[in-house]
């Protein structure tokens, strides 16, 4: 049986494929490119901040750099990362399906994503945008002289790629599960993507319309968000965060799904509290829609609204803590090995916990007045998005690399990279908590000299982080040609995806799949 990689090998066949596995790889290539472009902006930011004076780039360029970093990393790397690459590849395999429900729509999502990405890069090449990734009004609509419209329209466009991917996952999970694979037998990875898809489908359109309203206000100079013309800037912030807070869960829920597959495999235990893990995922997705106001405590909000948003934000900690405790409990009495995916997963638990708990500092009304708009916020969300989501993405890439490519990655190098990323990450971002607590505001390209020591530490950490990201790029590429051939199930994993060949055949399974027992002891009759 020929693998999906050898079937239809020409460039034209790749670009017109509707195989979910190949579309996943198209996504992987595209988001890797955007990751390193967004990363390059971060490198210049950290170099600039190594000294208190604004000496490397002018202030305007600095604004354009952090905007480019934010826009590219959020919409062109993090949002599509785990869902569009790993989710796309694995969901049909994990539920025993031949493909997603709408394979052509899946390919269309990739092209829409690409058009948005190229549009954004074009805007950056024309001179960039200086509004920050948040596009706050009325600056973005009335005052900024940068290329707001093209970038905003690109983000609008890319949103539809997210919506179509989410829609595809929802329908696939509802309709294409193998006989016997009931909801509470689904792997937590699939649950996480189901919850994420609901957010993608319901939150992304709100951002899309908000972007349209920015374009309308900017083009026609009519008042929606500009108070001088009878609009209200707070309306923009409410709309923007109604999407952008759930967007955090678009990034972190799939990451939780990945970790929930890795931990039981390398602890050789069943996941502890499976049902509660599934409920917690859905709980986080639901609560995530109700907490956007915590981004606006200092922008003007009634005391009662503030208290409500604060309380609801604290509630998010409950399902999050359930997940952390259950992963930890899964390790208890486990027979643990520290392969690279496990290192990433364990790193995730620690970094996510720190990021989550510091989120509670920011959700506390009084403390937020002191911490908001400082580096504390920057550190907090990088712990969630980089320490959490990116670490899980890399963990997942290593974990399923044998399945996707049919090759083993070099274990020693992978462990080195995982360790470098963990230490580099903490060295980069932990000092930023201290900087923020001491009052250093975010988004400034020069700062008071007393902040220099911590900034130098942060920049030093970033250089380790950069090497940590370049390493996997090198050895994973190497392993494509020289890596050991992978068996079907190198980790003794229990999911359905391990029951087929590595790499899987075009049809995913050679025989019909029927699930008899709990998913973690699946009797896949499609064993190849």
Partner 1 sequence: MSLTTIDDAGRLETVRLGMWAFLASELMFFGPLLLGWAYGRISMPDGFAWASRQTDLWLGTLNTAILLSSSAAMALAVQLSALQLKRQVGRCLLACAALGVVFLLIKFYEWHREWAEHLFPGPDFAGPAHTGAPYFFVVYFSATFLHAIHLTIGIGVTLTMWRRVHKSLGPLPQPALHAAGLYWHFVDVVWVALFPMLYLVERTP
User: Could you list the residues that contact partner 1 (CB under 8 A)?
Assistant: 95-99, 101-103, 163, 166-168, 170-171, 174-179, 201-206, 208-210, 212-213, 216, 220-224, 229-232, 235, 238-239, 507-509, 512-513, 526
Residue nearer to partner 1 on the CB measure, 96 or 116: 96
**Residue 98 C-beta: closest distance to partner 1, Å:** 4
CA distance 450 to 228: 39
Query: Mutual orientation of helices 103-126 and 20-48 as an angle, nearest 10°?
Result: 20
Query: What is the gyration radius of the CA atoms in the chain, in angstroms?
Result: 23
Residue nearer to partner 1 on the CB measure, 80 or 347: 80
- CB count within 10 Å of CB 454 equals 19
Residue nearer to partner 1 on the CB measure, 243 or 348: 243
Structural tokens at position 178: 């193998």
Residue nearer to partner 1 on the CB measure, 102 or 314: 102
CA distance 482 to 484: 7
Using CA of residue 173, residue 174, residue 176, residue 177, what is the dihedral sign?
positive
Residue nearer to partner 1 on the CB measure, 95 or 389: 95
Using CA of residue 245, residue 248, residue 249, residue 250, what is the dihedral sign?
positive
Residue nearer to partner 1 on the CB measure, 200 or 421: 200
Of 483, 485, 487, the residue nearest 528 (C-alpha): 487
CA distance 475 to 414: 8
**Residue 510 C-beta: closest distance to partner 1, Å:** 9
Of 398, 417, 423, the residue nearest 408 (C-alpha): 398
- CB count within 10 Å of CB 523 equals 13
Residue nearer to partner 1 on the CB measure, 58 or 512: 512
Of 493, 499, 492, 501, the residue nearest 515 (C-alpha): 499
**Residue 482 C-beta: closest distance to partner 1, Å:** 34
**Residue 229 C-beta: closest distance to partner 1, Å:** 7
**Residue 410 C-beta: closest distance to partner 1, Å:** 34
Residue nearer to partner 1 on the CB measure, 24 or 170: 170
Of 439, 452, 466, 463, the residue nearest 50 (C-alpha): 452
**Residue 23 C-beta: closest distance to partner 1, Å:** 15
**Residue 100 C-beta: closest distance to partner 1, Å:** 9
CA distance 489 to 194: 25
**Residue 211 C-beta: closest distance to partner 1, Å:** 10
CA distance 451 to 446: 10
């Amino acid at each position: 049986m020929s693998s999906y990689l050898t079937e239809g090998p020409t460039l034209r066949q790749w670009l017109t494929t509707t195989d979910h596995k190949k579309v996943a790889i198209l996504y992987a290539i595209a988001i890797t490119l955007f990751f390193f472009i967004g990363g390059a902006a971060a490198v210049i930011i950290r170099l600039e901040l190594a000294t208190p004076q604004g000496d490397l780039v002018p202030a305007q360029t600095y604004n354009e750099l952090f905007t480019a970093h934010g826009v590219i990393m959020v919409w062109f790397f993090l949002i599509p990362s785990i869902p569009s690459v790993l989710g796309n590849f694995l969901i049909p395999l994990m539920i025993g399906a031949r493909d997603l429900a709408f394979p052509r729509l899946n390919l269309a999502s990739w092209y829409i994503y690409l058009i948005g990405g190229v549009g954004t890069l074009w805007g950056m090449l024309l001179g960039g945008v200086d509004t920050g990734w948040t596009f706050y009004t009325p600056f973005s609509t009335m005052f900024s002289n940068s290329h707001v419209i093209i970038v905003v329209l690109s983000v609008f466009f890319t949103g539809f790629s997210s919506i179509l991917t989410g829609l595809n996952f929802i329908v696939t999970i509802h309709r294409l599960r193998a006989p016997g694979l009931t909801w509470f037998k689904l792997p937590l990875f699939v649950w996480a993507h189901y919850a994420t898809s609901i957010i993608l489908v319901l939150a992304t359109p709100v951002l899309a319309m908000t972007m349209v309203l920015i374009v309308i206000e900017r083009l026609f100079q009519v008042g929606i968000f500009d108070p001088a013309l009878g609009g209200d800037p707070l309306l923009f912030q409410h709309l923007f965060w109604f999407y952008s807070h759930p967007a955090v869960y678009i990034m972190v829920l799939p990451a939780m799904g990945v970790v929930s597959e890795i931990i039981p495999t390398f602890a050789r235990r069943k996941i502890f509290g499976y049902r509660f893990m599934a409920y917690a995922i859905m709980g986080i997705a639901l609560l995530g829609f109700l907490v956007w106001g915590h981004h606006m405590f200092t922008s003007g909000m009634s005391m009662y609204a503030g208290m409500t948003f604060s309380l609801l934000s604290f509630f998010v900690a409950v399902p999050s803590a359930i997940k952390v405790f259950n992963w930890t409990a899964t390790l208890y009495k486990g027979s643990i090995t520290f392969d690279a995916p496990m290192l990433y997963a364990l790193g995730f638990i620690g970094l996510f916990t720190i990021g989550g708990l510091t989120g509670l500092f920011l959700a506390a009304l009084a403390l937020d007045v002191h911490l908001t708009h400082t580096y504390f916020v920057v550190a907090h969300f990088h712990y969630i998005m980089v320490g959490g989501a990116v670490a899980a993405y890399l963990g997942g890439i290593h974990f399923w690399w044998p399945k996707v490519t049919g090759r083993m990655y070099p274990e020693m190098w992978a462990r080195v990279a995982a360790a470098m990323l963990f230490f580099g990450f903490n060295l980069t971002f932990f000092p930023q908590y201290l900087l923020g607590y001491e009052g250093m505001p975010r988004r400034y390209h020069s700062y008071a000299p007393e902040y220099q020591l911590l900034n130098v530490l942060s920049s030093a950490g970033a250089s380790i982080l950069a090497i940590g990201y370049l390493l996997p790029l090198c050895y994973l590429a190497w392993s494509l040609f020289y890596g050991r051939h992978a068996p079907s199930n190198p980790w003794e994993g229990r999911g359905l995806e391990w029951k087929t060949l590595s790499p899987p055949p075009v049809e995913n399974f050679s025989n019909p799949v029927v699930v008899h027992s709990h998913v973690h002891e699946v009797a896949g009759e499609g064993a190849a």
